[in-house]
Structure 1
Amino acid sequence: MKKIFILLVLSVISASVASAQKLGYTDMEYITSKMPEYQLAQAEMKKFSVKWGKEIQDKFGEVDRLQRAYMAEEVLLTDDLKRKRQAEIKSKETEAQEYNSKIFGMEGLMFQKKKELMKPVLERVQQAVNKVCSQRRIDIMFDKSSDIGMLYTNPRHDYTDYIIEELGLNEKADSDKNKAVGSAPQAQVGSAAESSNPKQKSTTNKRK
């Protein structure tokens, strides 16, 4: 599957180069880390996660309590009482499992809450991305922080700072970005002798 994806990415890049399309990439993880509204949404999500997690833990705790009580009294119970207690335990266990799926399952309440809280944040970022792509005449923009990843990233095509600037988050962005680039692996960002940033052009020669 990975080989198929790599071939697909290479095909897209080759087609883009052939048609003189301009490529760029950005770091959405870095961008959102600078957004106060994103941090607020994350904090709200954590509150809901803790609250719902505690409720689920209590439900399974009740199942465990009933189970231990049943085991301690089993020898004293009649067959009818045993069946009744077992049915009660099974019902409570099913209830806890269903509630857990309702909260943390696919399309569950946690997923819906995340989508609700993140929607305005992501819409704002997307508007900034669209504007930067339009201004810089970029045809394809990749996100280097996503699961898709990139085969190679040349800093000259990094438009993260432009999007940060468009969002009005550039007060500390430059210093933080420079630290991140300075500590990044050689294969990821290249060296000063290989390439240049859109906002800081290098006069050194590229590696042959």
Structure 2
Amino acid sequence: MKRLILSAALLAVCTLAVQAQRFALIDMEYILKQIPAYEQANRQLESLSKQWQGEIEAKGNEAKTLYETYQQTAGKLTAAQKTAKEEEIVAKEKEAAELRKKYFGPEGEVMKKRQELIGPIQDAIYNAVKEVAVEKNYDAVIDRASAQSMIFASPRIDISNEILSKLGYSN
């Protein structure tokens, strides 16, 4: 009797262990390329980045010009004038560095603008993935674009087109 119960328990445990988990893949890069709003947001971010980079370079060029002028006239300046010029150069360089941090730092304008423009698109994709995963009983959905160690995945488990359909974009 004990063997029968033990065998039944072992069989039940093995059956549960063998029950396969359901996985699906998405290709986030592919999905994003199919969404016109994402491409437009990227163009807008690129334009702002170029504009802000130009401002930073202008400040850097001002510092460079001040430094070159200082080098040419350093021999004619008094110690106090040299110190003042050096402080002016350092201040310009600091302005350029602060501007770079303001625009491109971890909490800079580019990150804020990216969150403003691209955040809602990513949220919509996440919600669509979640809905499809719940509907189809997937245990996990993996992004093949960011799964660096993935060597091969069957195209039949890729649900990227389903996600695009859920978002209202047909392929």
Alignment TM class, shorter chain as reference: 0.7 to 0.9
| Residue identity matched to 1:64 | K
User: CA offset at residue 150 of structure 1?
Assistant: 2.1
Alpha-carbon offset, residue 36 of structure 1? 1.0
Q: Of the two, which has the highest radius of gyration?
A: 2
Deviation at 1:168, TM superposition (A): 2.2
Q: Please identify which structure carries the higher helix content.
A: 2
Fraction of identical pairs, as percent: 32
Task: Report Cα offsets for 1:123-173 as digits up to 9, x if no partner.
Answer: 111121112112221110000011545243111211111112212222xx3
Offset of residue 18 of structure 1: 4.7
Give the equivalent residue in structure 1 for 2:134: 134
Spell out the pairing of 1:50-89 with structure 2 (5 A cutoff). 50-89=50-89
Deviations 1:58-114 (A, max 9, x none): 000100010011111111111111111111111111111121112112222211111
Q: Which runs of 5+ in 2 are unaligned?
A: 1-16
2-structure distance, mates of 1:93, 1:101:
12
Mapping of residues 73-152 of structure 1, within 5 Å: 73-146=73-146, 148-152=148-152
Following superposition of structure 1 onto structure 2, how do residues 1-208 of structure 1 map, counting pairs within 5 Å? 18=18, 20-146=20-146, 148-170=148-170, 173=171
- Contiguous gaps of at least 5 residues in structure 1: 1-16, 174-208
> Structure 2 length normalisation: TM-score?
0.84
Which has the bigger relative contact order, CA under 8 A and spacing at least 6? 2
TM-score (norm 1): 0.70
Tell me if structure 2 keeps the 8 A contact 1:143–1:149: no
Q: Work out whether residues 23 and 138 of structure 1, in 8 Å CA contact, stay in contact via their aligned partners in 2.
A: yes
Q: Quote the RMSD (CA, aligned, Å).
A: 1.6
